[in-house]
Amino acid sequence: MERRNVGILGATGTVGQRFIQLLAEHPWFNITWLAASDRSAGKRFEDACSWKLETPLPQRIADMIVQPNVPDGSSTELPRIIFSSVDSDIARELEPKFAAAGCAVVSNSSAFRMAADVPLVVPEVNAGHLEAIESQATRQSFGGYVVTNPNCCAIGLVLPLKPLEDRFGIEKLFVSTMQAVSGAGYPGVPSLDILGNVIPFIKNEEEKLQEEIGKLLGSTDGRSFRYSDATVSAHCNRVPVLEGHTECVSIKLRTPATREEIIAAWQSFQPLSGLSFKLPSAPARSVEFLEAVDRPQPKLDLMRGNGMATTVSRLRPCSLFDWKFTLLSHNTLRGAAGCAVLNAELLAALGKFNFKRFPPVNANFASQDLVNA
């Protein structure tokens, strides 16, 4: 695979730092451009960023200069692949401009997740949805496009749901989350609010989780999406855990399934094995099932599959629905940057990083022009 230059928009943030960690030594991608807010632009990256990860900031990245948050479509220095991790309001304004400048925007933000022609993708679940980029106005005119990955809880949840949907069908789902503080970005929830406490409200989170599962498990004709009609009810809670979202799930299936059949569906879930390329960030198993009664736990199971697997345990009968289980997923790896990197690897493998020449700068391209809403 040809090594391609990439940029990170929002590089100084919680997810942006994970992007740097995952991409600094990536075999297919090479970081050549970093941008953040006007507060950071023009500074050495090390001076603009308060690095919070356990691995050291690579010196080459530390010395890079943070660029302004605008695409310069005439410049050969702007990479054609932009990983985006900025707040939704900022993404709504900026991402269409990068797409109009001819870039593939691989986004973490919720701004365009539910747009009518923007794929919302977890590679193991709905890789076929990526075809919808060909309908985007910017793709047709300038070669650029936007692809999104779901909310952090939706990513962890949809991985074990997908094989159950395929084999038995999902009629109803109840999920209650316990979400880590890193999910709120940096500096996030004040320590005096979260230490020794549980906060039973995360703005817009329940709505996102409910609607995104419908799009992820739905189908596409390559131009538009048909949502799954599974009913999803979510409770979302912030808990004093640093990394790792835990979710308690009760599920009603359309066709009855035994415990053994459900476990077999999870253990045989290998949807990427048919690809001609092995995606470098794909875990050996996307769903890891444990029999232990007191797992999964963030302290013990967070890094399964290099932080890219959903760990599932406690599968038992449910007196309201059919079955219930508990899952754990790493919110800033699989739940954010890791999923976006896997999406980009899939786009590369599918030949979706073939572009037209850079178009003229079109800084006024508005978000409503991007989507066929």
Ligand X SMILES: NC(=O)c1ccc[n+]([C@@H]2O[C@H](COP(=O)([O-])OP(=O)(O)OC[C@H]3O[C@@H](n4cnc5c(N)ncnc54)[C@H](OP(=O)(O)O)[C@@H]3O)[C@@H](O)[C@H]2O)c1
Residues with a known catalytic role? 152, 245
Q: CA-to-CA distance for 266 and 312, rounded, in angstroms?
A: 9
Q: CA-to-CA distance for 43 and 160, rounded, in angstroms?
A: 43
Task: Choose the stretch contacting ligand X; rule: CB under 6 A; options: 8-16, 191-199, 260-268, 364-372.
Answer: 8-16
Q: CA-to-CA distance for 242 and 227, rounded, in angstroms?
A: 33
Residue from 85, 210, 246, 281 touching ligand X (CB under 6 A): that is 85
For residue 81, which amino acid is it?
A: I
Q: At 153, is the secondary structure helix, strand, or coil?
A: helix
**Which residues, numbered 292-351, are part of the site for ligand X (CB under 6 A)?**
331-332, 335-336
Q: CA-to-CA distance for 187 and 101, rounded, in angstroms?
A: 32
According to the binding rule CB under 6 A, does residue 69 interact with ligand X? Answer: yes
According to the binding rule CB under 6 A, does residue 30 interact with ligand X? Answer: no
Minimum distance from CB of 87 to ligand X (Å)?
5
According to the binding rule CB under 6 A, does residue 250 interact with ligand X? Answer: no
Identify any residues that bridge with 247 across adjacent strands, giving them in sequence order: 177, 327
Which is nearer to ligand X, 92 or 285 (by Cβ)?
92
According to the binding rule CB under 6 A, does residue 109 interact with ligand X? Answer: yes
Minimum distance from CB of 316 to ligand X (Å)?
29
**Which residues, numbered 182-241, are part of the site for ligand X (CB under 6 A)?**
182-183, 185-186
Which is nearer to ligand X, 11 or 115 (by Cβ)?
11
Which is nearer to ligand X, 62 or 263 (by Cβ)?
62
Residue from 1, 3, 39, 268 touching ligand X (CB under 6 A): that is 39
Residues 67-79 as b or e (16 or more Cβ within 10 Å = b): bebebebeeeebb
**Among 40, 47, 52, CA closest to 9:** 40
Cβ atoms of 241 and 198 within 8 Å: the answer is no
Q: Which residue do the tokens 């875990």 mark?
A: 283
Task: State the residues that interact with ligand X by CB under 6 A.
Answer: 9-16, 36-37, 39-40, 69, 85-88, 90, 108-109, 152, 182-183, 185-186, 331-332, 335-336
